[in-house]
Amino acid sequence: MHKAPSLLIATLLALVSGCASLPAHEPGSSSLALAPPVDAPLAQVAGRVLATGRPGDSAFRLLPEGETAFNARIAIARRAKRSIDAQYYLIRDDDVGRLFLRELRDAARRGVRVRLLVDDLYTGATEPLLAGLAAEPGAEVRLFNPLPSRGGSAEGRLLLSLHEFDRVNHRMHNKLLVADNSFAVAGGRNIAAEYFMHSDQANFIDIDVLACGQVVQDLSALFDGYWNSEHAVPVGAWPHDAAAARAALERAVAQAPAQLDERANDVLDQPPVGTQLDAGLVAMTPAPAQALADPPDKVRGVAGGAGSVVAHTLALFGTARSEVNIVSPYFIPGEVGLNMIKSVGATDENGRITLVTNALGATDEPLVHARYADYRLDLLKAGVRIYEVSPTLSQGTETAGRFGRSTGQLHAKVAVIDRQRIFIGSMNLDPRSARTNTELGLVIESPTLAEQLRALFRGSLVNAAWRLRLSADGEHIVWTATDAQGHPVVHTTEPDDTLWRRLKNWLLSPLISEDLL
């Protein structure tokens, strides 16, 4: 999800305005991640996993399928004995969000310390449920960089917060869940139905990673930095009737399913995480890794310089000797990025860089796509291989997910460098991730995981996407694909474009700087 530009547009077009301010509040008490309880089930399984690798390595398992990725979160949360720390950009009030909140509530009731940090942009509808969770002994909920306006739609709340635009335009985009400081799930997915193949309308193609080992303690330390920052405000800073909030949470979570149905084995032939935890050993790949996160003070414009997630990842791309495969749903390279790509030395359409991003019909941010489209021809001329995920082509491949009647949209943020290293996290390759949102990610040194991701490129994303090529004269773009019957499909104009979309982009593009996208 990359909705901040769309929400900004809504506020600019609105005809009313108003002011609000944050209430005076006491800062939340400082707390740190708890040490892994060595005699608890998760710590014991992690110990057995790590014993198969080299000293100092962590261990990882890719989670490409939505249902399996969500149930992995539930599996480690249900087995937590001491602590759960969770950090998300979005938790929606739907079946998935309610199931997740129920697990956190149940964990708190059995004595687990629960810390939940949520970016405040989309909490207008869910704040009563979050307050209900915070009313549980042992559970604490904080909102990151809260908007002055409370309740209602995100568009309306932004409208009433425009007097603090420089602050509220900065959002926490991180996604992380840590259980007993022993296992963690990180990646691109928020907590909502469309991220886990549970929406009837449109679902996201995404990927997470399950981790154990030292990298989990590193992620916990990064979480602590956010939790204890002045930008994380306890949900109790706003008045709530504790009894009413708990009753609202009880009503909501009572409607949630027990779990999401998943296949016996996912596309990587992996069984459910819960099944392996019950057996006492999770099949994971040992590897050294580095955890990355922007500083929480990025909301003040402190971007982190060379230590930022985007800067670190771009530097990683610059070390490539043979190839870089990039998946980014929102991709705006800018002139600096375009020049860097040209400097890699690719000279034809089979060059060293492959990009997978959203087609116009798949994107939920057409303005972002319009700015990316300004760079496409130059990217192709520089030798970049470009694939654009199609909402219709994605329905024809189950390796990208089981879409049913819904359409597919790309949301994964991953990269493979030289078939040796991978990046996976919350970061898009666009100005908003670089300058405005905070991001989190992992860099993992593993040829095994790199090959798994490359296989997903070939078998999932590429088969669900248009391949872009240069026209015969080298000055135009041609979109090519193969239909379910094996017949070639060729477009010489943008697939899925409409007159209304072109008109809307034409009207709104002058209002929105590329730096805000």
Task: Read off the pLDDT of residues 40-92 as tens digits, 9 standing for 90 and up.
Answer: 999 999 999 999 889 989 999 999 999 999 999 999 999 999 999 999 999 99
Percent of the chain, pLDDT > 90?
Answer: 62
Burial of 345 (C-beta count, 10 Å sphere; 0-12/13-18/19+): exposed
CA–CA distances in Å: residue 70 to residues 195, 408, 475:
9, 18, 44
pLDDT at position 464 is 82
| 258 and 322 in a common domain | no
pLDDT at position 194 is 94
Taking the model in full, what pTM does it have? 0.92
State the catalytic residue, choosing from 2, 170, 175, 240.
175
- Asked whether residue 24 is assigned to any structural domain, the reply reads no
CA–CA distances in Å: residue 178 to residues 131, 196, 276, 460, 515:
21, 19, 18, 28, 33
Q: What is the CATH number of the domain that holds 427?
A: 3.30.870.10
State the catalytic residue, choosing from 170, 173, 240, 298.
173
Average pLDDT over residues 452-477: 88
Give residue for tokens 């938790």: 91
Which of 10-14, 89-93, 214-218, 354-358 is least confident?
A: 10-14
Of 254, 279, 304, which residue constitutes the final position of a domain? 279
**What is the crossing angle of helices 127-134 and 95-109, to 10°?**
10
Among this protein's residues, is 473 annotated catalytic? no
- Name the pairing type of β-strands 83-88 and 113-119: parallel
State the catalytic residue, choosing from 231, 298, 312, 411.
411
| 332 and 262 in a common domain | no
pLDDT at position 343 is 76
| 325 and 361 in a common domain | yes
Measure the CA angle with vertex 219, ends 215 and 222; round to 5°: 140
- Asked whether residue 509 is assigned to any structural domain, the reply reads yes
| 297 and 265 in a common domain | no
> Cα(300)–Cα(274) distance, rounded to whole angstroms?
41
Among this protein's residues, is 175 annotated catalytic? yes
> Cα(408)–Cα(395) distance, rounded to whole angstroms?
7
Reading the block at residue 189, the tokens are 């997915």
- Asked whether residue 194 is assigned to any structural domain, the reply reads yes
| 191 and 53 in a common domain | yes
Structure confidence at residue 458 as a pLDDT band (50, 70, 90): confident
Of 244, 279, 314, which residue constitutes the final position of a domain? 279
**Residue 415 neighbours by CB under 8 Å, 6+ apart:** 313, 316, 317, 324, 325, 326, 327, 422, 423
| 176 and 210 in a common domain | yes
User: pLDDT (tens digit, 9 = 90+) per residue, 432-446?
Assistant: 999 899 999 999 999
**Residue 449 neighbours by CB under 8 Å, 6+ apart:** 60, 62, 285, 287, 422
How much is the CA Rg of the chain, to the nearest whole Å?
A: 22
Question: Residue ranges of the alpha helices (H) in 272-401?
Answer: 273-279, 309-318, 334-343, 366-381
Which of 16-25, 178-187, 232-241, 328-337 is least confident?
A: 16-25
Of 247, 279, 311, which residue constitutes the final position of a domain? 279
Which of 216-220, 273-277, 344-348 is least confident?
A: 344-348
User: pLDDT (tens digit, 9 = 90+) per residue, 154-172?
Assistant: 778 878 888 888 888 899 9
pLDDT at position 404 is 59
Among this protein's residues, is 342 annotated catalytic? no
| 60 and 137 in a common domain | yes
Mean pLDDT of the chain: 88
Residue 372 belongs to domain spanning: 291-516
Give Dmax over CA atoms of the chain in angstroms: 70
Q: Which stretches of 70-221 are assigned E, i.e. beta strand?
A: 83-88, 113-119, 139-144, 176-179, 183-187, 202-205, 208-212
| 261 and 298 in a common domain | no
pLDDT at position 237 is 87
pLDDT at position 15 is 36
State the catalytic residue, choosing from 180, 208, 266, 430.
180
Among this protein's residues, is 180 annotated catalytic? yes
State the catalytic residue, choosing from 95, 418, 496, 497.
418
User: How many domains would you assign to the chain?
Assistant: 2
- Asked whether residue 493 is assigned to any structural domain, the reply reads yes
pLDDT at position 285 is 98
Among this protein's residues, is 170 annotated catalytic? no
Structure confidence at residue 399 as a pLDDT band (50, 70, 90): low
pLDDT at position 102 is 98
Among this protein's residues, is 504 annotated catalytic? no
Closest CA to 133 of 112, 110, 114: 114
